[in-house]
């Protein structure tokens, strides 16, 4: 049992698989983002520039690591490693693993805890370097957290509550992922699912600090925000954590809202995998599309948009799902 778990953590769907997923997702994301802005994107490194993300990581891996006076480089490294580990652990809770997943009744609490770690780490590493730009960036991340974390949690809880009411799963992320796709077939649950999906995608965009919510790392105002003083391996870890958040967040939405392969178990396994990949690519494309078509908001504008529109949307979805669950059970 332990060697199966270690295989899952290290090989699939853990560290090695996620590294490959980051590499291919980033290449696709950059290509699509560039095409949407009438550019070519990565071209020269490898065929169609496919090796560009690897080259970027390797460059940072061998670059000098400068720690400025008064900073805490070891604590920053530890925080970034724990945040990366929490996202790896979250992947093991999704139905992508060939062996026994990390699943239990009420494990959604564990998933929520793991999801918060990257945000905390990215904000705290800004506080660990004595720099005005880093401090302002970290302050902006904390301010944004008040808006999107609640919204993201509410939107993720909606399919979990509904699928718990409709099936025998007990607030388990794994079993909710297997059953939640059936909610699209029920006329009573389709509206909260649509609202929760929209809120989840917008919140994920904000969680990823992508446009129009890249306020904490606005390069024209505050250089690179919380990451201004980082270089070398630590900067590679920061970029890796951001890319991993995109991969795991998109995978979470794919599995929880669309069910991944679960609606297609009657198809041959390779076709089911292809369909899951297509669903994942659609989610990544939507995130890229939002990034390409919008300009950066001010922090107060972003907060007002969340509190006026996105949070009520997620709250309505959550309340409706609670009422439906209550009536069903």
Partner 1 sequence: MVSLLLAALEASLAIVVTVLILLVAYAFSAKFARSIVRGSSEKRKPFACGESIPLPKTGLPDAGMYTAVWRLVFKSLYKSLRDSLHTGILSDWLMWMFIFMVVMIVVSMAVLL
Q: Among 20, 99, 130, 186, which residue interacts with partner 1 (rule: CB under 8 A)?
A: 130
Please identify which residue in the block is written with the tokens 């409706």.
320
Please identify which residue in the block is written with the tokens 């649950």.
189
Q: Is 307 in the site for partner 1 (CB under 8 A)?
A: yes
* Helix 190-207 with 232-257: angle, nearest 10 deg: 180
Mark residues 208-237: x for contact with partner 1 by CB under 8 A, - for none.
---------------x----xx--xx---x
Shortest Å, Cβ 272 to partner 1? 25
* Helix 52-61 with 15-36: angle, nearest 10 deg: 120
Q: Is 67 in the site for partner 1 (CB under 8 A)?
A: yes
The one segment of 138-146, 160-168, 202-210, 268-276 that binds partner 1 by CB under 8 A = 138-146
Please identify which residue in the block is written with the tokens 């890249």.
214
The answer to whether 312 and 148 have CB atoms below 8 angstroms apart is: no
Total residues contacting partner 1 (rule CB under 8 A)?
Answer: 64
Please identify which residue in the block is written with the tokens 């993201």.
152
Shortest Å, Cβ 56 to partner 1? 15
Q: Is 20 in the site for partner 1 (CB under 8 A)?
A: no
- Residue 3 CB-density burial (10 A; 0-12 exposed, 13-18 middle, 19+ buried): exposed
Q: Is 61 in the site for partner 1 (CB under 8 A)?
A: yes
Taking the least distance from each CB to partner 1, the nearer of 139 and 294 is: 139
Enclosing H/E stretch for 6: helix 2-10
φ/ψ (deg, to 5) at 102 = -80, 100
Taking the least distance from each CB to partner 1, the nearer of 88 and 204 is: 88
Shortest Å, Cβ 238 to partner 1? 12
Distance CA 173, CA 170 (A): 9
Q: Is 55 in the site for partner 1 (CB under 8 A)?
A: no
Q: Among 11, 20, 99, 106, which residue interacts with partner 1 (rule: CB under 8 A)?
A: 106
Please identify which residue in the block is written with the tokens 């029920």.
186
- Residue 98 CB-density burial (10 A; 0-12 exposed, 13-18 middle, 19+ buried): exposed
Q: Among 63, 186, 265, 267, which residue interacts with partner 1 (rule: CB under 8 A)?
A: 63
**Which residues contribute to the site for partner 1 (CB under 8 A)?**
5-6, 9-10, 14-15, 61-70, 73, 77-78, 80-82, 84-86, 88-90, 92-93, 102-107, 109-110, 114, 129-133, 135-136, 138-140, 142-143, 146, 223, 228-229, 232-233, 237, 298-300, 303-304, 307
């Amino acid at each position: 049992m332990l060697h199966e778990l270690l295989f899952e953590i290290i090989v699939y769907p853990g560290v090695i698989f996620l590294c490959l997923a980051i590499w291919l997702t980033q290449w696709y994301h950059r290509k699509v983002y560039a095409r949407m802005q009438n550019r070519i994107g990565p071209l020269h490194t490898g065929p169609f520039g496919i090796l560009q993300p690897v080259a970027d990581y390797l460059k940072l891996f061998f670059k000098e690591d400068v720690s400025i006076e008064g900073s805490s480089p070891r604590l920053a490294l530890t925080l970034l490693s724990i945040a990366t580990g929490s996202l790896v652990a979250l992947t093991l809770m999704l139905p992508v693993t060939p062996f026994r997943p990390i699943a239990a009744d009420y494990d959604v609490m564990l998933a929520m805890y793991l999801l918060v770690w990257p945000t905390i780490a990215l904000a705290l590493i800004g506080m660990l370097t004595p720099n005005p730009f880093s401090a302002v960036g970290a302050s902006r991340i904390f301010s944004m957290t008040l808006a999107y974390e609640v919204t993201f949690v509410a939107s993720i809880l909606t399919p979990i509550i509904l699928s718990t009411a409709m099936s025998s799963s007990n607030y388990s992320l794994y079993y909710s992922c297997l059953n939640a796709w059936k909610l699209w077939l029920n006329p009573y649950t389709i509206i909260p699912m649509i609202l929760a999906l929209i809120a989840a995608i917008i919140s994920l965009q904000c969680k990823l600090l992508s446009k129009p919510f890249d306020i904490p790392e606005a390069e024209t105002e505050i250089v690179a925000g919380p990451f201004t003083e980082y270089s070398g391996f630590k900067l590679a870890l920061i970029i890796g954590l951001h890319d991993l958040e995109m991969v795991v967040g998109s995978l979470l939405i794919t599995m929880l809202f669309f069910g991944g392969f679960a609606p297609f178990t009657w198809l041959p396994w390779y076709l089911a995998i292809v369909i899951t990949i297509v669903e994942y690519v659609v989610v990544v494309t939507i995130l890229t599309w939002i990034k390409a078509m919008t300009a950066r908001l001010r922090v107060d504008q972003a907060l007002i948009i969340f509190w006026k529109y996105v949070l009520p949307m997620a709250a309505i979805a959550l309340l409706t799902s609670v009422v439906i669950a209550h009536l069903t059970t």
